[in-house]
Amino acid sequence: MIRPRHYVIALSIMVALVLQIVPLPSQADTYRPDWVLVVLAYWTMALPHRVNVGVAFISGIALDILLGTPLGVHSLVLCFCVYILAANYQRLRNYSVWQQCVIIGLLSAFYHLLSFWLLHLLNDIFFLYEYMLPVVTSMAIWPWVFWLLRKLRRQLKIV
């Protein structure tokens, strides 16, 4: 029988994908946090044996299709980010939520710089500082996402 705990991870990633593409007014749009990265980061730190590079690759491909970027750009960037987390998950788990915020900020900055750099190689785009604004909002949503997903994980006993 299929219980919620079997598909909660997939469902949370899907919700993150939808949040990543929901239309917003253009003023709010530049501040949109990296939902997919934050959700993947939580699951990688909590359950690295279930969510790691493979899941990141698939979510990256989905993100590429939804955002219309060349296939492989976001999957490559997300794989790198998730690899860093999965390789250090034992240390990162012991950090407080605020220390994890800093890590998420660094990771998000790395995510945006790497994807900018890849897209710059593919078609000549210019760098604007507002491309880095999501770093701040990603850091701001991390405690809430962390709290919500941990509650979900404990209540549904996902292992």
Partner 1 sequence: MEAIFSRGPSLNNRLAIAIVLSIILIVVDNKLDGFQSTRMFLNSLMSPLQYIANLPSLMLNASADQLTSQQQLLEENKRLTRQMLLASEKLQRFDVLSRENEELRELLDAPVSRNMRKIVAELMSVDRNPYSRQIVINKGTLDGVFLSQPLIDDSGIIGQVMEVSTTNSRVLLITDVTHSIPVRSLRNNIRFIATGSGGKNEVFLEHVAHSVDIAVGDVLVSSGLGGVFPAGYPVAKVTYVDKDEGREFARVTAEPLAELDRIKYTLLLELNP
Per CB under 8 A, residues contacting partner 1 are 14, 17-23, 26, 29-30, 32, 48-49, 52-54, 56-57, 60-62, 65-73, 75-76, 79-80, 83, 86-87, 89-90, 116, 118-119, 122-126, 128, 130-131
**What DSSP designation does 69 have?**
P
Which is closer to partner 1, CB of 51 or CB of 101? 51
Least distance in angstroms from the C-beta of 124 to partner 1: 7
HSE, side-chain direction, 13 A CA sphere, residue 39: 22
Residue 101 or 107 having the CB closest to partner 1: 107
First and final CA of the chain: distance in angstroms? Answer: 17
Q: Which amino acid is at 7?
A: Y
C-alpha distances (whole Å) from 120 to each of 66, 123, 155 are 19, 5, 44
How near is the Cβ of 125 to partner 1 at its closest, in Å?
5
